[in-house]
Amino acid sequence: MRPRALLSWSSGKDSAWTLHVLRQRGEVEVVGLVTTLNETFGRVAMHGVRVELAHAQAEAVGLPLWPVPLPWPCSNDEYEARMRAVVAKALAEGVTAFAFGDLFLEDIRAYRIRQLTGTGIVPLFPLWGTPGETPALARAMIAAGLQAVLTCVDPRRLPPKFVGRAFDAALLADMPSDVDPCGENGEFHTFCHAGPVFNRPIPVHIGDVIQRDGFWFADLIAGPTPPFVQTAADRKRP
């Protein structure tokens, strides 16, 4: 019997690709997607994605969503307390592993290992590598049919005009050379709406594009794209 594992699910491309890799390897059985939510706004933390879209993703990959509501603003102590509750629930359900889509940031990896040490749950990092490997990783995702949209851009690292763009070969070609093509340094965050782990694509279109708390966000709305919505978004994007 394979070990039961949870997957940290941000709604983005790296989470979706991690699930794809885990299912290909077959070493663990992923039994749930853990997603932190801003409980004030009902959106996925940092990515700014509506919670209903995270639920749609969970349905499309055939796994239950484990939402973790967080207050806004949220202190690190409060975040860790709520994550400890997730770990306790996981242990009660026979989970022995927790997978993350981290790529190469050593401090993030060390933090996750530290938080799980002594809990009985082992951290997994299926995509772990080096900064030099992310260009090939990004191209592999796109070649495999993964489709995602940039929902959040940090204008200190990437021009705001990139928010709302598709994560595709054209984006990689246009991206500044000092930006990680997977956004691992926080340059951007994505919402994945199709790919090898989805049993069906999730139709979305871009609503408002706004600046908030120093970041640019493209609001994704479920459903096919009405032309007037796309035009409105284009007018608002810097």
pLDDT at res. 100: 98
Query: In angstroms, rounded to a whole number, what is the distance separating the alpha carbons of residues 82 and 76?
Result: 10
Per residue in 153-182, pLDDT (tens digit) is 999 999 999 999 999 999 999 999 999 999
- Whether the per-residue pLDDT at 152 is higher than 80: the answer is yes
pLDDT at res. 230: 44
| Between residues 89 and 235, the one the model is more confident about | 89
Q: Give the residue from 234, 225, 219 showing the smallest Cα distance to 205.
A: 225
Per residue in 198-230, pLDDT (tens digit) is 999 999 999 999 999 899 999 999 887 665 444
* CATH 3.40.50.620 residue spans of the chain: 4-124
**CATH class as words, domain 4-124:** alpha beta
CA 71 vs CA 9, 65, 88, 169: distances in Å = 18, 19, 20, 37
| Mean pLDDT, rounded, for 78-82 | 90
Q: How far apart are the first and last CA of the chain?
A: 52
Q: What share of the chain in percent tops pLDDT 70?
A: 94
Residue 182: how many other CB atoms lie within 10 Å:
26
Q: Is the bond into 3 cis (omega within 30 degrees of 0)?
A: no
Query: In angstroms, rounded to a whole number, what is the distance separating the alpha carbons of residues 62 and 93?
Result: 18
